[in-house]
Structure 1
Amino acid sequence: MRVVEFLEKRGRRVFTVKTSESIGYLARQLQRHRIGVMVVSDNGHAIDGIISERDIAYSLAERRGELHLLPVSALMVRRVITCSPQDTMSYVMELMKVHHIRHIPVQDAGRLAGVISMRDALEFRLDEIERKANLAQLTQMVD
């Protein structure tokens, strides 16, 4: 299955945050939307970076009380691994494995088109296994 097909099925909603927003604001947005990552984008279309709840947690040990006041730009990951809508879900899963990441923004002609999470990849794989099991069961019934 291609990423575009998966996004059409699941939906393309993506939450973004600006580089100038505070970590406190980001944390409230992550909590409000019950998500673990936001794409950093000053215009809502270009991918300037990515930031996760893990980035905040790891920074807490060294920044402590001032953390919530810092801008998102201070903690965001600037080198973002992306995929395209035409990539396969299997390829995206391989990217996650190789780069040890849990979220991959989808970029289409330089514009943010969605995000694939580790949870999405797991659901895709479980659906794939179930389809194969059902097909095998049908084949056995015919034989």
Structure 2
Amino acid sequence: MAARAASQAISDKFAAFSDPTRLRILHLLREGEMCVGDLVTILDMPQPTISRHLAYLRRSALVTTRKSSLWTYYSLAAAKSELHRKLLDCLTACFADVPDLKKDATRATKLKKAGGCCEPEPVARKARR
């Protein structure tokens, strides 16, 4: 039974990398955490599509989340196995020259400089007396 679960986990990781949208998301997240709004803007795809792919990546244990007030931030999960580490390394080494991924990285850099879509949490104002 444990061998079957391990085989399924490996299969899930490879399936996650086999989809172009998930590959683009993973490639972007290697630079740091992002919210759905940022990914929607960079990838120019509808929010439900991005959210569906992020849910798949979470179930495959490739992505983790952090909640902060209104926003959920996504980041790459720390490698829990040698295979997982090698797949994460491949995001940089194997796909460095893929044109779409380069374009995504350029858009991400521009968005980051502009402040991104997910604004920081509002600062609470002191009540006036």
Could you tell me the TM-score, scaled by structure 2's length?
Answer: 0.30
Larger Rg: 1
Could you tell me the TM-score, scaled by structure 1's length?
Answer: 0.28
For CA contacts below 8 A with separation 6 or more, give which structure has more relative contact order. Answer: 2
